[in-house]
Amino acid sequence: MCAAGNSVNGDISEARLPWDGQAYSVKRFGTTITDCDSEPVQTPGCIQGHGALLVLRPDDLTVAQVSDNSGALLGHAPEALLGQPVSRVLGEANAEELRRFLASEPVDRNPLYVLTLPGHNGAALDVTVHTTEGVVIVEFEATAHTATNGPDYFSLIKLTVARLQSAASLQALGDAATAEIRALTGMDRVMVYKFHDDGHGEVVAESRRPELSSWLGLHYPAADIPEPAREVFRRTWIRPMREIGAPLSELVPLAHPDTGRPLTMTHCALRATSAIHTEYLQNMGVTASLTLSIRRGEQLWGLIACHHYAGAFDLPYNTRAACELIAQIVSLQHKAAEDRDYLSRQLGFDEVRQLLVSQAEHEGGLSAMVDGPLTLLDALDAQGAALFHQERWWRVGQTPENDELDMIADWLIERPEFSSSTEPVFVTDALGKLMPCSPEVSAIAAGLLALPLSKRGKNLIFWFRPETLRSIDWGGNPHDKPMVPGPNGPRLTPRGSFELFSDSVRGQSVPWQQWEIELALRFRLVVMQLVISRAEQLTELNLNLARSNDDLDAFAYVASHDLKEPLRGIHKYAHQLTDSAALANPQDAQRVDGLIRLTLRMDSLLESLLHFSRVGRVALELEDVDLDELVHEALGMVVARRAEKPSEVVVAPQLPHMRADRVRLREVFVNLLSNAFKYNDKPDVRIEIGWYPPHAVDRKPHWPPEVTQHPIFYVKDNGIGIEMRHAEQVYKMFKRLHGRDEYGGGTGAGLTIVKKLIERHGGVVWFDSEPGVGSTFYVSLGVQ
């Protein structure tokens, strides 16, 4: 497809071409072409008018075709030359020299300089010759510097080669090549133009006259260099254009008189420029150009494009030969330079990877990879990265929003490549074309490289690249002037071609290279090792914690058990003292009373502690427990409290059965009910005992996570209530929110024991309360 956008997708039939059946001539038919791919650029039927061309029969070197300007340049009109021996133009001696040259030199599809002719109108003519498809082509070029009077190219090129060979990177090679060619030719701008995988081009190196604005980094649509032109550059190294738009000379006759075939001019230095390309260059302000190819084996990697902006520019044979040599050296050096680049980038990324992981190891885990000094964006060439870890997204750079990331993750988890055991990675450069997503997402996340970090769940790392259109500088209007349509409409203006280009690259990112994918997979392994080692650390911490809990229980047991004995002694001794006559002093008697009260209080504290330690130590005896029965038993055990005031107790019908330790669970209810009666100042105490089956109630924000998945039991009272800021305090050992003897007194161990018992059942206890209105204590026993 070309800038004109009228491709007929390869089904161009002869009859539909404007030159219908006749040999093509760019001069006659060029402007009627609307489709670049149909333009016969290798058989244009014309040459650039500053030179002349002869087509000779190989056997007798008689003239079969000649350019129509032969009269002016060679002194013989075409009709005077056709069918005549070449000696008519060259003279006998030179004709003999040509014959000898053809017999001895490798001229097949390889134009070589033979001699310089004085020239008919004063200007010297360089003569080059090559053979192709059974004919001999002789080109005559009028140049200021002929091959015999120009500079010493051999010494020049020797230095150039040395400079190219010492280039340490691909960039340095490109910079050196552009600088050398500009110095050698004296052209205004020399660029290295690289083809991307989708065929579009980017200027990656440039040498220019200082007053020109830089085109470095600009991108150009693939259509700007259509396929027929690329094909020529796979076959030749060089394409000179002395003066864009200068008059052309047509061949006489247009087709070979013996074979009827058009002349293939692929290797001719004088080949006339394609009509469409001429127009395109003119629209860019280019007046003369030289293009060289950079090849990787048989592939066309890119071009070296040289522009001149002020009229005709002579490119004599020797200059061209030197440039051709440079293009060949660049092509050879290119692979080595690219390998060096790849290696050094890989080493760079490897270093970043190590640093990132050690950063994560020492500074708060994986999330440090998005908010630390180094981020995931340093590990790969991307504009955004996201990590799903610990049930949330961590993002850096340009990424979709969390809900959009969720969508991408859900979609990805289903993809087979994601669960591959050898290469679990997903890569695309056009996400929007694979999954339904908003234009915004497909613009900033067109490129996605995703790695799973665990087999189950969605622990993931994403890297994003935006669509190319957003990240590239477009070279559509390099002269900063309004679009000027060509003589054939807007088909060839850079901006016109950009619009077509932008459609084709929308939603498309720069593709991920294989080496980047390999790098990401290696990164994944290191991150997973880190995750595993952190999990191991956690298990160890848990073990240590369990061990210290056990130690605490053992300590509580020993302390409370062993302290009870001496306490009993003190108590007994104090009693004896009250009876003794030695306490005549009433103050002393009071002190001894106090001592007795303290021993009693300490005894109940020790009793609670002992009980608590037993609760932690004794194994649970799990059985099927009828909660209906159990609650009524518990109510029976708090009758003393019930008797204190009028009270109404409502128990929901048909409480379910649960698997639990009956005695321990009853203790839980006894404690909760006892508190519900105790902390109640209303004249009519009202207590309700009920339950919610799983999922029957909505979780409130402060409730523990996931509690609604199991049955929830509750004890609700209309008592004094608890300020929610004490929500954690009430479970602390010996913590009371009131004075020691208020509300019937207590040790402050009840709820601590309740919590321990419930936790041993794998459950949770929590409450809602409003001071002055009442409290509701909830119990969920968790998975049994």
Q: What are the residues binding ligand ADP (CB under 6 A)? A: 675-676, 679, 717, 719-722, 730, 736-738, 746-752, 775
- Phi first, then psi, for residue 668 (nearest 5°) are -60, -50
Per-residue DSSP letters for 285-338?
A: T-SEEEEEEEEETTEEEEEEEEEE-SS-----HHHHHHHHHHHHHHHHHHHHHH
Cβ-contact 98, 80 below 8 angstroms: no
Q: Going by C-beta distance under 8 Å and a sequence separation of 6 or more, which residues neighbour residue 445?
A: 384, 399, 400, 408, 431, 437, 464, 465, 466
- Of 376 and 605, nearer to ligand ADP (C-beta) is 605
- Of 384 and 721, nearer to ligand ADP (C-beta) is 721
- Of 201 and 748, nearer to ligand ADP (C-beta) is 748
- CA 375 from chain centre, in angstroms, equals 13
Q: How far is the CB of 628 from ligand ADP (least distance, A)?
A: 22
CA–CA dist 80, 554 (Å, integer): 122
- Of 524 and 736, nearer to ligand ADP (C-beta) is 736
- Of 536 and 770, nearer to ligand ADP (C-beta) is 770
- Residue ranges of alpha helices (H) inside 506-626 are 514-579, 586-617
- Tokens standing for 275? 């009509």
- Of 496 and 721, nearer to ligand ADP (C-beta) is 721
CA–CA dist 3, 698 (Å, integer): 62
Instruction: Name the residue among 116, 120, 135, 148 with its Cα closest to residue 43.
Output: 135
Cβ-contact 781, 660 below 8 angstroms: yes
The length of the chain in residues reads: 784
Q: How far is the CB of 600 from ligand ADP (least distance, A)?
A: 15
Q: How far is the CB of 751 from ligand ADP (least distance, A)?
A: 3
- Of 70 and 560, nearer to ligand ADP (C-beta) is 560
Q: How far is the CB of 775 from ligand ADP (least distance, A)?
A: 4
Q: How far is the CB of 737 from ligand ADP (least distance, A)?
A: 3
Q: How far is the CB of 730 from ligand ADP (least distance, A)?
A: 4
CA–CA dist 261, 55 (Å, integer): 12
- Of 261 and 597, nearer to ligand ADP (C-beta) is 597
Q: How far is the CB of 350 from ligand ADP (least distance, A)?
A: 58
Q: How far is the CB of 716 from ligand ADP (least distance, A)?
A: 9
Q: How far is the CB of 772 from ligand ADP (least distance, A)?
A: 11
Q: Could you give the C-alpha distances from 28 to 22, 31, 33, 782, in angstroms and in order? A: 11, 8, 11, 89
Sign of the torsion formed by the C-alpha atoms of 70, 76, 80 and 84: negative
- Of 228 and 721, nearer to ligand ADP (C-beta) is 721
- Of 188 and 667, nearer to ligand ADP (C-beta) is 667
- Of 376 and 689, nearer to ligand ADP (C-beta) is 689
Query: H or E element: which one contains 388?
Result: strand 384-389
Identify residue 658 by its one-letter amino acid code: M
- Of 290 and 673, nearer to ligand ADP (C-beta) is 673
Q: Going by C-beta distance under 8 Å and a sequence separation of 6 or more, which residues neighbour residue 199?
A: 222
Q: How far is the CB of 612 from ligand ADP (least distance, A)?
A: 11
| End-to-end Cα, the chain, rounded Å | 69
Q: How far is the CB of 748 from ligand ADP (least distance, A)?
A: 4
- CA 328 from chain centre, in angstroms, equals 35
CA–CA dist 116, 581 (Å, integer): 148
- Of 73 and 749, nearer to ligand ADP (C-beta) is 749
CA–CA dist 291, 234 (Å, integer): 12
- Of 52 and 676, nearer to ligand ADP (C-beta) is 676
Q: How far is the CB of 432 from ligand ADP (least distance, A)?
A: 58
Give me the helix-helix angle, 662-678 and 750-760, nearest 10°. Answer: 150
Q: Going by C-beta distance under 8 Å and a sequence separation of 6 or more, which residues neighbour residue 75?
A: 89, 120
Cβ-contact 720, 776 below 8 angstroms: no
Cβ-contact 180, 158 below 8 angstroms: no
Q: Across-strand partners of 55?
A: 65, 137
Provide the b/e sequence for 122-160 (b: ≥16 CB within 10 Å). Answer: eebbbbbbbbbeebbbbbbbbbebbbeebeebeebbeeb
Read off the DSSP letter of residue 223.
Answer: G
- Of 506 and 732, nearer to ligand ADP (C-beta) is 732
Q: How far is the CB of 641 from ligand ADP (least distance, A)?
A: 11
Q: How far is the CB of 610 from ligand ADP (least distance, A)?
A: 15
Q: How far is the CB of 784 from ligand ADP (least distance, A)?
A: 25
